[in-house]
Structure 1
Amino acid sequence: MRFPFRHEKRDADIEFGLFLIPEADDYAQLLTVAEYADGVGLDLIGIQDHPYQRRFLDTWTLITALAVRTSRISYFPDVANLPLRNPAVLAKSVASLDIMTEGRVHLGLGAGAFRDAVAAMGGPRLSDGDAVRALGEAIAVVRAMWSDERAVRVVGNFHTLDGAHPGPTPRHRPGIWLGAKGPRMLALTGYAADGWLPSSSWAPPEFLDEANKRIDDAAATAGRDPAEVRRVYNVSGTITDDRTDHGFLEGPVARWVDDLVALHRDQRVDGFVFWPIEGEPLDQIRRYAEQVVPAVRAETAAR
């Protein structure tokens, strides 16, 4: 893959990124894609976290390796599997890499799916309700570990701190973004998190309407401005090279531009993380980065 041009990092209302699969056999290509995304002006790289998947590299190790080989793009686990990652240690890992990369790390968190696989690796098998409660406690632990207090305590049923010494402090304030789908998770996002990470595979535009309302209501109840909660949307589909419109996120560049602009305008989505699901992946990534993203930036700026 050639690196045709390089942009300086920019602050923008909308961020654009890539969703990568941490296949162990594809490390060289993952590095190439990360360097390309960094050079072409994308903002984010999200990497899924399934520690029980034998073909996958460890997500946090991979993020670290890619981050130190790039200079401007930010990274986040999309999303970290909380039942298999101690939140206090995870908070320290995030803070450490944030310092090393000068503020290019966020934390995507999930309550944990694939419970049989989690249990097979020694993780807890939690009910839906307990998983949400554990996630809420984990957020408190992470924030405490990022504080400048001398010692911190968090009392919980699943995650606790008992006089732990926080540190180091992150270089910037990493966002805590939740992969939330159910009503309780969406409410937790509104009153405790910095962002929401839905995926188009299970969260079509009509789902976003009701979910955004739940997040906004929970944020308002907690005394927060709902606009503080970022919406970073994992978008999967195919950018075709013909003019045929196959529907939402399936069609030529113009279709993708229209869909992303509409999502930003109507659903307040302010981040798009692209996961190509068909076609040659590197070709799809080029079309997204070099054709779709500049057009969406231009149209939203004009509006």
Structure 2
Amino acid sequence: MDLRIFTEPQQGASYDDLLAVARATEDLGFDAFFRSDHYLVMGDGDGLPGPTDAWTTLAGLARDTSRIRLGTLVSSATFRHPGVLAIQVAQVDQMSGGRVELGLGAGWFAQEHAAYGIPFPAKRFGLLTEQLEIVTGLWGTPVGERFDHAGEHYTLTDSPALPKPVQTSPLDASRAGVPVIVGGNGPTRTPRLAARFGAEYNQSFPELADVPGRIARVREACVEVGRDPGTLLQSVALVLCVGRDDAELARRAAAIGREVPELREHGIAGTVDEAAARLRELEAQGVQRVYLQVLDLHDLEHLQLVAEQVGTQLR
């Protein structure tokens, strides 16, 4: 099972804070460093020093790390024109030597759009669908050919479809393309998008009892479009809070403003053995990758504990 570190910088983090976590992620043997793509603090807190742009951050980390994979969970389709997004992600993929992945979703946080003057249409699923068509279409267009798209939301005419990512598409090795992560809780439309475009289907903070059913639905969607369900990687994102004992666990829970019983019920939380048992349970249900949501970015000892005492139990 892959274990990835997933951060929420909108709650308050500088680039240097994120770099420290990314370097710890790399040094401790985790598979990847991911970040959310948000522009406004959620809940209590002032969010200082203020938001950092996800793809600007990942461009910096592409040069400041050497092994770990990098990506968003997830970028909002409302934030960037798909043509611009395709250029940004392809460039960061080049800068990293082919270590980037794109998580893309419809967007949901209306307040951040209002705060920064970003349009927030009521109906966004069609927007997301076209963005996936355009981004993957631009990357997959052979060099020297042109890409056109005429849709409800976007029109691209005679595009040279450059630059290309370093990586080839997981769905078609003859074409360029960064792995795309599609996630969401919708029972029908999201699985269909994952089956069409995704290298990975992600469930973000699901009720644990719902995980097997959602995996089954997205596998059915793959069959419907003629895709081998085994080619779509299954992942979940869950909050992380682990302690060597109950006292350390309680201290870490208090630091992120959460209650221990709630964390144990909904996350990768508890003692070292409890966290390992939860991960093995998810693996038995068909989950192949877990994004560990780290909310206290200054507690690097937390990452070390998980790497050395939880991760080792899964190998």
Per the normalisation by structure 1, the TM-score is: 0.84
- Determine which of 24, 28, 33 is the counterpart of 1:40: 28
* AA in 1 matched with 2:202: L
Q: Percent identity?
A: 27
Q: Does 1:265 align with 2:284?
A: yes
Report the Cα offset of residue 260 of structure 1.
Answer: 0.8
Correspondence for 1:282: 300
Alignment of 1:211-250 (within 5 A): 211-242=214-245, 247-248=264-265, 249-250=268-269
Report the Cα offset of residue 222 of structure 1.
Answer: 0.7
- Determine which of 161, 166, 179 is the counterpart of 1:175: 179
Alignment of 1:1-303 (within 5 A): 14-22=1-9, 25-53=13-41, 55-127=50-122, 130-149=123-142, 150-172=145-167, 173=169, 174-183=178-187, 184-200=189-205, 203-242=206-245, 247-248=264-265, 249-266=268-285, 268-277=286-295, 281-296=299-314, 298=315
Report the Cα offset of residue 115 of structure 1.
Answer: 2.3
Q: Secondary structure at the match of 2:193?
A: helix
Is the 8 Å Cα contact of residues 236 and 287 (structure 2) preserved in structure 1? yes
Query: Cα 1:41–1:279, aligned 2, differ >3 Å: closer, same or farther?
Result: closer
Q: Distance in 2 between matches of 1:242 and 1:73?
A: 30
Gaps of 5+ in 2: 42-46, 170-177, 250-259
Decide which structure has greater strand share. Answer: 2
Q: Secondary structure at the match of 2:204?
A: coil
Gaps of 5+ in 1: 1-13, 299-303
Query: Cα 1:278–1:170, aligned 2, differ >3 Å: closer, same or farther?
Result: closer
RMSD value, Cα: 2.3
Worse-matched range after superposition: 56-65 or 115-124 = 115-124
Per the normalisation by structure 2, the TM-score is: 0.81
Query: Cα 1:57–1:187, aligned 2, differ >3 Å: closer, same or farther?
Result: same
Q: Secondary structure at the match of 2:124?
A: helix
Q: Secondary structure at the match of 1:137?
A: helix
Q: Secondary structure at the match of 2:59?
A: helix
